[in-house]
């Protein structure tokens, strides 16, 4: 086949694969079609990978000697062995991971994706430096690929480590604080300017290829360090935002590699992911009522675990016994269950669903109200409840469920705190004022399962707990739910 | 490397793809945000193709090493990402199934 036709065919197949990604993402808009959507994307990806392999083989040999078509023996080994090793590792992790550990795995996959994009960019620069292909535009895309890719690589690894508990979840102060981050940014910026001015056929600054290579590695080092210093100071509960942001970065880095390799497929796929991450970042930041800058500067979530002082809010806390709570639940017409991260920590999602089933058997209408940031990544709580076999029509989003609290007899809050705090609506002085919350306090009666009066992530008192309608059931989420189940069964 | 696409053409493709991404993804409900992110995550594993292309170009030890790491990383991202997304999505059911049938990964 002549090379012209081959390239054309390759681009057409790339366009088909890119379309499959768009269609696949489109099918994600409903739980009924989402699984097929993912399969469509995966199919497109398979076609794209096979087509690339075939294209590389059919291509003319650009080396002294080639083993098969356009590929040297080394290249064949690298592609086949690399794919087997990477694929097996990915498959193993994907099949083994517990649903509670999903955020750290997604973060890890994100890290390697970013790393791969950075490597492709580095390779390409080493290839073109000093040659006619070293244009200003290519230099810019290469550097963007290196910078964004490597920030994502180390940033996602740190995020994954924090989520896994390998690194302390609390904000960690970086030596020099913001100044270190700024200094790193400046180093990268100056180096970038240097390389851009040194690029092209008629460069502003004459630099040897060796110097340019060294400068590129300075940029690489600064970006890798920047990723670490960027994520270390960010607290555990801000992780949904950070993961979304890093996901968006990787997409952008992949698109930059696409510019360098002149591959429309990489550009489109990268841009789609960049947009997805961007939207989720905004949604998460809005749902936490915090700006991206505020989260990046960090240092917020230090309050978790401090003890609340009920007298400060002027109310008293009413404790409720297991039997009382069970009676309220069993004789209610409708119950809204509000699960928070405490439920996931206690691995209580199965117990939660069982209690829901028992209540439904008694004719109680049960739905689950899920705040957008419940869990450690966007939508995490939905996955945990789906794993526990809760049918998705019962999983209600915040906007849909909030009006229903007015009509519900009992709201059962399990391991959720700040996202139920009414001061977000009422007290302009509160740090969480304006944060969208679940209107749990509108329910006729409220039961809160909680281990202690400990504060939530924001480190402030929750006025829901001193509401006269609220009964506190002090217990571990799982133990509390099991006790409630037992008590309801005996009624 | 794969055909003649001008810088300007590439930029146009990039911008349109970002807009398509915004349009498609803003319709995804919060219930599916985790699988969406994980699915999008596997799509950027497309850099695997970049890794394959540089493997074909490489002709020294450093090049081989870089290409190898890129291919391993990319493959891990693609394969792991799609499998884990599928695992999540198969749990989203409209009606509850018998508790025994939903055991751990088959």
SS3 A410: strand
Answer yes or no: is A67 within a domain.
no
A482 and A420 in a single domain? The answer is yes
The confidence band for B3, taking pLDDT boundaries of 50, 70 and 90, is: very low
Answer yes or no: is A27 within a domain.
no
A375 and A475 in a single domain? The answer is yes
Digit-coded pLDDT (tens) for A208-242: 888 999 999 999 999 999 999 888 888 767 788 88
| Residues of A forming the active site | 418
Q: Phi/psi of residue A334, each to 5°?
A: -140, 140
- Domains: count for chain A: 2
Determine the longest span between alpha carbons in chain A, in angstroms: 87
| Region class of A379: left (phi > 0), else alpha (psi between -120 and 50), else beta | left
B34 vs A386: CA distance, rounded Å = 12
Report yes or no: A259 at the B interface, CB cutoff 8 Å.
yes
The confidence band for A307, taking pLDDT boundaries of 50, 70 and 90, is: low
Query: Which chain B residues are Cβ-neighbours of A56 within 8 angstroms?
Result: 52-53, 56
DSSP code per residue over A320-373: --HHHHHHHHHT-SEEEEEE-HHHHHTT-HHHHHHHHHHHHHTT-EEEEEE-TT
pLDDT of residue B98: 52
SS3 A160: helix
Best to test chain B binding among A273, A388, A401 (most B CBs inside 10 Å): A273
A317 and A281 in a single domain? The answer is no
Of A46, A45, A26, the residue nearest A36 (C-alpha): A26
**Residue A156 in this model has a pLDDT that exceeds 60:** yes
pLDDT of residue A1: 67
A216 and A332 in a single domain? The answer is no
Min Cα distance A453 → chain B (Å) is 30
Answer yes or no: is A29 within a domain.
no
Nearest Cα residue in chain A from B106: A95
Chain A from 148 to 167: CB within 8 A of any B CB: none
The partner residues of A223 in beta bridges, in order of sequence, read: none
End-of-domain residue from the set A302, A325, A344:
A302
pLDDT of residue A457: 67
Rounded to two decimals, the pTM is 0.87
A285 and A345 in a single domain? The answer is no
A363 and A466 in a single domain? The answer is yes
Answer yes or no: is A66 within a domain.
no
Record: contact A86-B72, CB cut-off 8 A: yes
Record: contact B96-A52, CB cut-off 8 A: no
CB-nearest to B17 from A34, A124, A271 is A271
Cβ contact A152:A108 at 8 Å: no
Q: What is the CATH number of the domain that holds A392?
A: 3.40.50.1220
A470 vs A313: CA distance, rounded Å = 15
Element (H, E) at A413: strand A410-414
Of A358, A363, A353, the residue nearest A391 (C-alpha): A353
Answer yes or no: is A89 within a domain.
no
The partner residues of A367 in beta bridges, in order of sequence, read: A336
A374 vs A340: CA distance, rounded Å = 5
Answer yes or no: is A343 within a domain.
yes
Q: Name the least confident of A40-49, A425-434, B97-106.
A: B97-106
SS3 A67: coil
A290 and A321 in a single domain? The answer is no
A286 and A353 in a single domain? The answer is no
pLDDT of residue A139: 92
The confidence band for A435, taking pLDDT boundaries of 50, 70 and 90, is: confident
Of A247, A303, A295, A312, the residue nearest A110 (C-alpha): A247
Q: How confident is the prediction for chain A on average, in pLDDT?
A: 88
Cβ contact B28:A235 at 8 Å: no
pLDDT of residue B101: 40
Answer yes or no: is B13 within a domain.
no
Cβ contact A308:A461 at 8 Å: yes
pLDDT of residue B100: 43
Q: What's the average model confidence in pLDDT over A18-35?
A: 94
Tokens at residue A445, please? 């009666």
Answer yes or no: is A274 within a domain.
yes
Min Cα distance B106 → chain A (Å) is 10
Q: Which domain holds residue A324?
A: 310-490
Answer yes or no: is B24 within a domain.
no
pLDDT of residue A304: 45
pLDDT of residue A302: 40
Answer yes or no: is B23 within a domain.
no
The confidence band for A341, taking pLDDT boundaries of 50, 70 and 90, is: confident
State the complex-level ipTM: 0.88
CB-nearest to A272 from B1, B20, B66 is B20
A197 vs A332: CA distance, rounded Å = 72
Digit-coded pLDDT (tens) for A374-431: 877 888 899 999 989 899 999 999 989 999 999 999 999 998 888 899 988 888 888 7
**Residue A189 in this model has a pLDDT that exceeds 70:** yes
The residue ranking higher by pLDDT, A139 or A315, is A139
pLDDT of residue A3: 85
A243 and A320 in a single domain? The answer is no
Q: Which domain holds residue B46?
A: 39-90
Record: contact A393-B94, CB cut-off 8 A: yes
Q: What's the average model confidence in pLDDT over A116-124?
A: 95
- Domains: count for chain B: 1
A296 and A351 in a single domain? The answer is no
Nearest Cα residue in chain A from B99: A389
Q: What's the average model confidence in pLDDT over A9-37?
A: 93
Record: contact A38-B35, CB cut-off 8 A: yes
**Residue A298 in this model has a pLDDT that exceeds 70:** no
Of A52, A239, A40, the residue nearest B39 (C-alpha): A40
A458 and A432 in a single domain? The answer is yes
**Which residues does B24 contact at the CB level (< 8 Å), separation at least 6?**
A22, A25, A26, A29, A272
End-of-domain residue from the set A280, A302, A324:
A302
Of A7, A67, A358, A116, the residue nearest B47 (C-alpha): A116
A251 and A184 in a single domain? The answer is yes
**Which residues does A275 contact at the CB level (< 8 Å), separation at least 6?**
A248, A251, B17, B18, B19, B20, B21, B22, B25
């Amino acid at each position: 086949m002549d090379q012209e036709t081959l390239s054309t065919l390759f681009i057409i197949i790339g366009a088909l694969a890119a379309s499959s990604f768009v269609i696949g993402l489109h099918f994600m808009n409903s739980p009924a079609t989402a699984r097929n959507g993912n399969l469509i994307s995966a199919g497109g990806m398979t076609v794209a990978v096979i087509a690339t392999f075939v294209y590389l083989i059919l291509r003319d040999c650009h080396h002294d000697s080639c083993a098969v078509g356009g590929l040297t023996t080394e290249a064949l080994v690298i592609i086949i062995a690399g794919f087997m090793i990477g694929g097996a590792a990915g498959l193993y992790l994907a099949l083994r991971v517990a649903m509670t550990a999903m955020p750290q795995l997604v973060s890890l996959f994100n890290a390697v994706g970013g790393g791969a994009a950075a490597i492709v960019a580095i390779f390409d620069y080493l290839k073109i430096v000093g040659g006619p292909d070293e244009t200003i535009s290519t230099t810019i895309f290469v550097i963007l690929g290196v910078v964004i890719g490597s920030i994502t690589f180390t940033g996602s690894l740190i995020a994954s480590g924090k989520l896994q508990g390998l690194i302390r979840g609390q904000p960690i102060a970086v030596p020099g604080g913001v100044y270190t981050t700024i200094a790193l940014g400046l180093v990268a910026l100056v180096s970038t300017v240097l390389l851009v001015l040194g690029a092209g056929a008629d460069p502003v600054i004459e630099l040897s290829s060796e110097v340019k290579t060294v400068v590129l590695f300075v940029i690489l080092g600064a970006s890798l360090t920047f990723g670490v210093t960027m994520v270390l100071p960010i607290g555990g509960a801000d992780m949904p935002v950070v993961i979304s942001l890093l996901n968006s970065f990787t997409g952008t880095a992949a698109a930059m590699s696409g510019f360098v390799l002149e591959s429309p497929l990489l550009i489109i796929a990268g841009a789609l992911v960049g947009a997805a991450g961007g939207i989720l970042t905004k949604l998460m930041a809005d749902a936490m009522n915090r700006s991206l800058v505020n989260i990046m500067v960090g240092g917020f979530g230090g309050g978790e675990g401090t003890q609340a002082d009920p007298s400060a809010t002027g109310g008293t806390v009413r404790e409720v016994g297991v039997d009382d709570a069970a009676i309220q639940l069993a004789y209610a017409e409708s119950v809204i269950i509000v699960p928070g991260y405490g439920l996931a920590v206690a691995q209580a999602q199965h117990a939660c669903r069982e209690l829901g089933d028992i209540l439904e058997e008694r004719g109680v209408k049960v739905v689950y109200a899920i705040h957008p940031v419940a869990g450690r990544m966007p939508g995490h709580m939905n996955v945990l409840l789906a794993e526990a076999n809760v049918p998705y029509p019962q999983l209600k989003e915040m906007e849909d469920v909030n009006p229903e609290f007015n009509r519900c007899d009992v709201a059962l809050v399990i391991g959720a705190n700040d996202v139920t705090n009414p001061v977000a609506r009422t007290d302009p002085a509160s740090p969480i004022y304006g944060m969208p919350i679940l209107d749990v306090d509108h329910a006729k009666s409220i039961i809160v399962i909680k281990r202690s009066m400990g504060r939530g992530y924001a480190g402030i008192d929750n006025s829901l707990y001193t509401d006269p309608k609220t009964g506190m059931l002090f217990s571990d989420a799982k133990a509390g739910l099991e006790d409630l189940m037992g008590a309801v069964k005996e009624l | 490397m794969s055909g003649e696409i001008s810088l300007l053409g590439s930029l146009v493709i990039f911008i349109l793809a970002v807009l398509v991404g915004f349009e498609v993804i803003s319709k995804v409900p919060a219930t599916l945000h985790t699988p969406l992110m994980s699915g999008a995550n596997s799509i950027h594993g497309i850099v695997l193709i970049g890794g394959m292309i540089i493997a074909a170009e490489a002709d020294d030890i450093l090049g081989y090493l870089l290409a190898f790491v890129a291919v391993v990383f990319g493959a891990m991202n693609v394969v792991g990402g799609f499998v884990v997304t599928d695992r999540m999505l198969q749990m989203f059911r409209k009606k509850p199934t018998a508790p025994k049938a939903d055991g751990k990964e088959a």
